[in-house]
Amino acid sequence: MPEAESHDLIIIGGGPGGYVAAIRAAQLGLKTALIEREHLGGICLNWGCIPTKTLLRSSEINHLLHHLGEFGFAADNIRYDLEKVVKRSRAVARQMQSGVGFLLKKNKVTVYDGQARLAAKQTITITGKTNKTLTAPHIILATGARARQLAGLETDGKLIWSYREAMVPPAMPKSLLVVGSGAIGIEFASFFQNMGAQVTVVEVLDRILPVEDAEISAFVRKALEKQGMRILTGAKLGAIGKGADNVTVTLEAAGKAETITVDRIISAVGIVGNTEDLGLEGTGVVVEKTHVQIDGFCRTGAPGVYAIGDLAGPPWLAHKASHEGVLCVESIAGLPGLHPIDWTNIPGCTYCRPQVASVGLTEARARERGHDIKVGRFPFIGNGKAVAMGEPEGMVKVVFDAPTGALLGAHMAGAEVTEMIQGYVIARTLESTEAELIHAVFPHPTVSETMHEAVLAAYGRTIHF
Ligand SMILES: Cc1cc2nc3c(=O)[nH]c(=O)nc-3n(C[C@H](O)[C@H](O)[C@H](O)COP(=O)(O)OP(=O)(O)OC[C@H]3O[C@@H](n4cnc5c(N)ncnc54)[C@H](O)[C@@H]3O)c2cc1C
C-alpha cells in the first residue's frame, strides 16, 4: 500500500465553503488538499445561486418585454426559446465553475476528484476517480446538503421536480405547483410565473418566506398574487395521483379541501445535510437533524475536525459557507484578533419579483428578545428613482433598539434590494446607531435613499412621505 500523502489541511467538498476555505488556507501558507466528488463550485455554482439567477434574469427580461408600452415602446410577437434560456444558464454555471478550478490551481491547492471519508484520526481515504490516502492534522468537512424528500412527494425527475430538474425544464409547464415557500420555492415560483406558467404555491406555515419579517412576507405575497400567482398558506397536501403528463393533488387550506391538476410539481421543502458515509461514527462529531454541530469557530466535537457551510446548519447560504470557511482556516492558522461568527449578521436574499433582502432581527424576534424597539418604514412609491425605473412596488423596514439606537434588523422588498442590503450589513458590522445612519449622505436619485428615509421614519423625521 502506498504511503499516505501528508498535508497541513484537507478539505472535503469543493462548494463555496470548501473552495474559498482552500484558497484562504493556501494564502496563509498551509499545504492544502481539496477533494470533490462531483463538481467544483458545489451546489451554488452548478445547481444553485448562479444558474437560478441566470434564469431569473431571463424571466425579468420577459416581464419587461411584456410591459414595453409603459416605457414608450412597442413590439410584436414577443416570444422566447426555452432551450436557449436554459442553455445560457448552464453556460454561465460552467463558466463560473471553470473559474474555480483556475483559482485553486493558481493558489497551488491540490485537488482530487473522488469521494472522501474519514478513515482514522487525521486520515482521509479517497475512492472513485482517485484512490488515495491523505493525512493532515486539520480536516474541514464541507460536504453541503441536498434537497429534502417529503414522503409521498418524492421527486421523480419527470412530473415531480427537485431544484435540479426545475432548473433545466425541457418545456414550459402550463401549470405548476410549488410545494414550500422558502427562498428556493419562491424563486422558482417567480421564474415560472414570469415565463407564463400558472403557478400555485402551497406552504404549510401561515405565511410565505417564513424566515422573513411578517410584514415583508405579507407585502411580497400581495405582490405575487397581483401578478396572478395563487398562494395557499396553512395548507396541507393530500393524495397525489400521477397521470401520463400531469399530476392531480388534493390540497387542504382554511378548512377547505380541493383537488387540482397541474403539469408539474416542484418540491422545495428544505434540505438535508450530506453527513452519510463520511466516517463520522465514533469520532465525537455530533450530528443533529442531519447537520454537524459546530461552535463559533466551526470546531466540531472531534479535535482537528471542523465543519462549514450547509453541512453545519442554517442559514443555508453560499456567503455563510464562504465566511465560515475563511474564519475556520484563519483560526486553524492561529491568526490573532478573530471573532466567532455572528449568524445573526448574515444577510438573506430572495431573487423573486419583487426581490427580498434582510439582515438581523425581524420585528417579532426583536420583541421576543425583550428589546424596546423603534420601527421605521418607507415605501418605494415615495422614491423618485424607483418610480423613474418603473419599480414603485417596494418597501424598507428597519428595527432599532430604542435605548441605544443600535440597528437590530433591516428588511426590504423591491427592485435591486439584494444589491442594497449590503449597506445595512456594513452598518450592523460597524455597530452603527441611528445617529450615523441619519448623518450619512445617500446619493440622489437612487433607490438607496429609501434606506435613509426608513431610518429617518423610525425617528419621526422622514422627509418624502
Ligand atoms: C436552487 C438553489 C438556489 C440557491 N440560491 C442561493 C442564492 O441565491 N444565494 C445563496 O447564498 N445561496 C443559495 N443557495 C444555497 C447555496 O447553494 C448553498 O448554501 C451553498 O452551495 C452551500 O455551500 P457548501 O460549500 O456548504 O456546500 P455545497 O455547495 O453543497 O458543496 C458541497 C460539495 O461537497 C461535495 N461532496 C459531498 N460529499 C463529498 C464527499 N464525501 N467527498 C467529496 N466531495 C463531497 C459535493 O459534491 C459538493 O460539490 C441556493 C441553493 C439552491 C439549491
**How remote is the CA of residue 48 from the centroid of ligand 1, in Å?**
7
CB within 8 Å of 298: residues ≥ 6 apart: 140, 306, 307, 308, 312, 324, 327, 328, 331, 341
Cell 425541457: give the residue: 170
Among 3, 307, 343, 328, smallest CA distance to 141 is for: 307
Overall pTM surpassing 0.95 (yes/no): yes
Give the chain's count of helices (H) and strands (E): 13, 26
**How remote is the CA of residue 47 from the centroid of ligand 1, in Å?**
8
**What torsion, rounded to 10 degrees, do the Cα atoms 298, 302, 304, 310 define?**
-30
- C-alpha–C-alpha distance, residues 67 and 50, integer Å: 26
- C-alpha–C-alpha distance, residues 129 and 36, integer Å: 10
For residue 341, with 0-12 CB atoms within 10 Å meaning exposed, 13-18 middle and 19 or more buried, which class applies? Answer: buried
Residue 201 carries which DSSP code? E
What is the pLDDT, as a whole number, of residue 2? 67
Among 317, 269, 279, 318, smallest CA distance to 300 is for: 279
pLDDT in tens, the chain (465 residues): 568 899 999 999 999 999 999 999 999 999 999 999 999 999 999 999 999 999 999 999 999 999 999 999 999 999 999 999 999 999 999 999 999 999 999 999 999 999 999 999 999 999 999 999 999 999 999 999 999 999 999 999 999 999 999 999 999 999 999 999 999 999 999 999 999 999 999 999 999 999 999 999 999 999 999 999 999 999 999 999 999 999 999 999 989 999 999 999 999 999 999 999 999 999 999 999 999 999 999 999 999 999 999 999 999 999 999 999 999 999 999 999 999 999 999 999 999 999 999 999 999 999 999 999 999 999 999 999 999 999 999 999 999 999 999 999 999 999 999 999 999 999 999 999 999 999 999 999 999 999 999 999 999 999 999
- Residue of the nearest CA to atom 49 in ligand 1? 42
- C-alpha–C-alpha distance, residues 238 and 15, integer Å: 36
Q: What angle do CA 212, 250, 218 make, to 5 degrees?
A: 20
Question: Which ligand 1 atom is the nearest neighbour of the CA of 43?
Answer: 29
What is the pLDDT, as a whole number, of residue 3? 80
**How remote is the CA of residue 317 from the centroid of ligand 1, in Å?**
8
380 in the Ramachandran plot: left (φ > 0), alpha (ψ -120 to 50) or beta? alpha
Q: For residue 143, what is its C-alpha cell?
A: 460536504
- C-alpha–C-alpha distance, residues 387 and 151, integer Å: 46
What is the pLDDT, as a whole number, of residue 199? 98
Domains of the chain, earliest start first: 5-147+272-343 (3.50.50.60), 160-269 (3.50.50.60), 354-458 (3.30.390.30)
Helix axes 49-65, 82-106, angle to 10 degrees: 140
Name residue 254's amino acid: A
What is the pLDDT, as a whole number, of residue 1? 56
Peptide bond into 315 cis (omega under 30): yes
143, 163, 359: residue to mutate for ligand 1 pocket, most atoms within 8 A of CB: 143
10, 19, 49: residue to mutate for ligand 1 pocket, most atoms within 8 A of CB: 49
Question: Which ligand 1 atom is the nearest neighbour of the CA of 16?
Answer: 25
353 in the Ramachandran plot: left (φ > 0), alpha (ψ -120 to 50) or beta? beta
**How remote is the CA of residue 258 from the centroid of ligand 1, in Å?**
36
What is the pLDDT, as a whole number, of residue 254? 87
- Residue of the nearest CA to atom 38 in ligand 1? 143
Question: Which residue numbers are catalytic?
Answer: 444
CB atoms within 10 A of CB 63: 15
CB within 8 Å of 431: residues ≥ 6 apart: 406
